[in-house]
Amino acid sequence: MAEKVKVPTVGESITEVTIANWLKNDGDIVKMDEVIAELESDKATFELPAPKAGALKILKEAGETVPIGEVICEIDESAKGSSSASKKSDKDESKPKKDDSKSETSEPKPTG
């Protein structure tokens, strides 16, 4: 089930914020409490942490001004296990690179 992430209350007099920057991309796997976006008000910039771990679905784009309480993204908790699968594939891809470097060093170096 997807967790809806709303713009938090950041101050008594602040009624809206601008999404300054998404620090993660749509579809990225995020960890709980990992900062996923920067929000700006007239007075300050705030970091938005992920309330849950899972796949990020961005609903509002950077640069948009949104009211406090507006849903700006969702986190699909059922997808949080896919990050470990992608890490394993990254490790598998790095092994051939190590083998390639060994074959390069075994070749005789020209002297001159």
pLDDT on residue 112:
60
Threshold 0.85, pTM exceeds: no
Task: Point out the residues of the chain with pLDDT beneath 50.
Answer: 82-104
pLDDT on residue 56:
98
DSSP label at residue 18: E
For the chain, domains (ranges, CATH) are 2-79 (2.40.50.100)
